[in-house]
Amino acid sequence: MIKFLDLHKINMLHQDETEQRLLKTFRSGWYLLGQEVKQFEQELSAYTGSKHAIGVANGLDALRLIFKAYIELGEMQPGDEVIVPANTYIASVLAITDNGLKPVFTEPDINTYNIDVAGIEEKITSRTKAIMIVHLYGQAVFSYGLEQLAQKHNLKIIEDNAQAIGARWNDISTGNLGDAAGFSFYPSKNLGALGDAGAVTTSDDILAKTVRALANYGSGEKYINNYQGLNSRLDEIQAAVLNVKLKYLDAENVRRREIAGYYIQNINNPGIILPQPPEDGTNHVWHLFVIRTKERNRLQAYLLNKDIQTQIHYPVPPHKQQAYREYNHLSFPVTETIHNEVLSLPISPVLTLEEARTVAEAINNFK
Ligand X SMILES: *Cc1c(COP(=O)(O)O)cnc(C)c1O
Binding site for ligand X (CB under 6 A): 58-60, 88-89, 91-92, 134, 160, 162-163, 184, 186, 196, 198
Contact present, 137 and 113 (Cβ < 8 Å): yes
What's the closest the beta carbon of residue 160 comes to ligand X, in angstroms?
A: 5
Which member of 189, 209, 222, 306 is catalytic?
A: 189
Nearer to ligand X, 58 or 176 (CB): 58
Nearer to ligand X, 128 or 232 (CB): 232
One-letter identity of residue 98: D
Nearer to ligand X, 181 or 345 (CB): 181
Contact present, 349 and 256 (Cβ < 8 Å): yes
What's the closest the beta carbon of residue 60 comes to ligand X, in angstroms?
A: 4
Nearer to ligand X, 18 or 88 (CB): 88
What's the closest the beta carbon of residue 185 comes to ligand X, in angstroms?
A: 7
What's the closest the beta carbon of residue 234 comes to ligand X, in angstroms?
A: 11
Query: Cis peptide before 314, with omega less than 30 degrees from 0?
Result: yes
Nearer to ligand X, 134 or 291 (CB): 134
- Rounded distance, CA 212 to CA 48, Å? 18
- Respond yes or no: is residue 189 known to be catalytic: yes
What's the closest the beta carbon of residue 226 comes to ligand X, in angstroms?
A: 25
One-letter identity of residue 168: R
- Rounded distance, CA 128 to CA 118, Å? 16
What's the closest the beta carbon of residue 272 comes to ligand X, in angstroms?
A: 24
Residue in the shown chain whose Cβ atom is closest to ligand X: 59
Nearer to ligand X, 260 or 362 (CB): 260
- Rounded distance, CA 9 to CA 29, Å? 29
One-letter identity of residue 364: N
Q: Residues with catalytic annotation?
A: 189
